[in-house]
Amino acid sequence: MRLIGLAGWSGAGKTTLLTRLIPHFVAQGLRVSTIKHAHHAFDVDVPGKDSWQHREAGASEVLVSSARRWALMHELRGADEPPLAELLQKMSPVDLVIVEGFKAAPHRKIEVHRAANGKDWLFPGDAAIVGLATDAAVDTHLPVAHLDDIVAIARLIERSAIPIADVLAGRSPEL
């Protein structure tokens, strides 16, 4: 399993880019999983359904299973949010894990930056950023790919992704 992150400000296009990259990698025969960080309360459960009622009643975890999929929801109930390394250990093995968000975590990341967003760059202050996907002109030594060039961004990801074991051990080997 290898890992790379996509980091950037809200509105930069991380989710849009990710939904274009996943089919590209799958077409190459890779198994891809994602971890998405949310900065707000979110719910994947439908209010009123049995699993929602279990969670609302105080269950720490609720696993929902069907013939098509299963999902595990874990309520923190006031505990601290787990770090990325802990979440990675809960994932099933795949070829590539792409992390959307977790921009403060030390894993390798591609910064997604959209000029129209009007936000500052993350990369000057984050040594874990190893490349840029942007529609803006930028002066940098880092590799840069245009936001619409999925093939170039995919190549950058393939060159930059590191083994999950390195992430779990706190290592981010040099390119």
Q: Give residue 34's pLDDT.
A: 95
Whole-number percent of the chain with pLDDT over 90:
59
Integer Cα distance of 81 and 87 in angstroms: 10
The CATH number assigned to the domain with range 2-41+82-168 reads: 3.40.50.300
Structure tokens at 123: 């990369």
Least confident of 27-36, 51-60, 146-155: 51-60
Q: Give residue 49's pLDDT.
A: 87
Q: Which pLDDT band holds residue 174 (cuts at 50, 70, 90)?
A: low
Q: Which of 112, 94, 110 is nearest to 26 (CA)?
A: 94
Residue 46 has pLDDT above 90, yes or no: no
How far is Cα of residue 70 from the mean position of the Cα atoms in its chain? 20
Q: Which residues contact 31 (CB under 8 A, 6 or more apart)?
A: 94, 95, 96
Determine the average pLDDT of the residues in 72-80: 89
| C-alpha distance from residue 143 to each of 61, 83, 110, 140, 170 (Å) | 42, 28, 10, 8, 23
Enter the pTM of the model: 0.90
Residue 32 has pLDDT above 80, yes or no: yes
